[in-house]
């Protein structure tokens, strides 16, 4: 299957992308991974992207699109892929359509992970990270440490990242509503959008998503 995954920050896209890609035996292609790989390997696209980033400028859509194109042309993506973080706006969605049309392939579904805005704020603003090891992550409500402010694993200090503060989260949501959410209507016009609730246990959300994707595929 060829799938685009969308949803607001805090919807669990990263977690679900990894799980769904494994279940469907297709590569998980995330924008963040694309940038990191191209920059670390010092590809021409990576050098170009870094030149914009070093100046504090946004990387142009054309560079992101070319990176995605290169990745989708690799052998492991021949039978499908799951795109996470791309397309990020309608212009990128149109460019992706043109690219796929040129290759003679099409998307099977756009999976929209739906979560109420207050829940997004609660999920992200409640995160606490260990200063000693950023892989030690806790949540004040869902997975609190035994002792407030102290990492259960190593005893390090837990802190709230600047990106996770409520006012920052609400700004990120505004950006999502303005830039990314319009692609849902764009894909709805093509009959590709499958919306599921991203509330509940992680395993339950994965099974919900797989069921919805399989129904969508069967109806095509």
Q: Which residues are catalytic?
A: 13, 88, 127, 161, 172
Q: Is 58 flagged in the annotation as binding?
A: yes
**Torsion sign (Cα): 97, 102, 104, 105:** negative
Q: Is 162 flagged in the annotation as binding?
A: no
Residues 153, 42: Cα–Cα separation, whole Å:
36
Q: Is 172 flagged in the annotation as binding?
A: yes
Q: Is 43 flagged in the annotation as binding?
A: no
Q: Is 123 flagged in the annotation as binding?
A: no
Which among 78, 70, 65 has a CA at the least distance from the CA of 27? Answer: 78
According to DSSP, the β-strands at 158-159 and 127-130 are antiparallel
Residue 50, CB-side half-sphere exposure with 13 Å CA sphere: 12
Q: Is 126 flagged in the annotation as binding?
A: no
Q: Which two tokens stand for residue 182?
A: 């319009």
Q: Is 14 flagged in the annotation as binding?
A: yes
Q: Is 88 flagged in the annotation as binding?
A: yes
Q: Is 170 flagged in the annotation as binding?
A: no
Q: Is 215 flagged in the annotation as binding?
A: no
Query: Residues annotated in the binding site for ATP, as ranges?
Result: 10-15, 127, 137-138, 200
Query: Residues annotated in the binding site for AMP, as ranges?
Result: 31, 36, 57-59, 85-88, 92, 161, 172
Query: Residues annotated in the binding site, as ranges?
Result: 10-15, 31, 36, 57-59, 85-88, 92, 127, 137-138, 161, 172, 200
């Amino acid at each position: 299957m060829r799938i685009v995954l969308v949803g607001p920050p805090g919807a669990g896209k990263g977690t679900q992308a990894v799980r769904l890609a494994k279940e469907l035996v297709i590569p998980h292609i995330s924008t963040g991974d694309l940038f990191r790989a191209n920059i670390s390997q010092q590809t021409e696209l990576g050098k170009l992207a870094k030149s914009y980033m070093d100046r504090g400028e946004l990387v142009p859509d054309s560079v992101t699109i070319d990176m995605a194109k290169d990745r989708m042309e690799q052998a492991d993506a021949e039978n499908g892929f799951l795109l996470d973080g791309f397309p990020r706006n309608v212009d990128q969605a149109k460019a992706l359509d043109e690219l796929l049309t040129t290759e003679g392939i099409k998307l099977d579904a756009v999976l929209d992970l739906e979560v109420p805005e207050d829940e997004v704020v609660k999920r992200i603003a409640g995160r606490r990270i260990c200063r000693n090891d950023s892989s030690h992550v806790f949540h004040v409500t869902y997975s609190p440490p035994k002792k407030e402010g102290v990492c259960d694993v190593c005893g390090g200090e837990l802190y709230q990242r600047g990106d996770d503060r409520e006012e920052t989260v609400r700004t990120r949501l505004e950006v999502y509503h303005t830039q990314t959410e319009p692609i849902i209507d764009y894909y709805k016009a093509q009959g590709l959008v499958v919306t599921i609730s991203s509330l509940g246990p992680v395993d339950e959300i994965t099974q919900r998503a797989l069921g919805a994707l399989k129904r969508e595929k069967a109806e095509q």
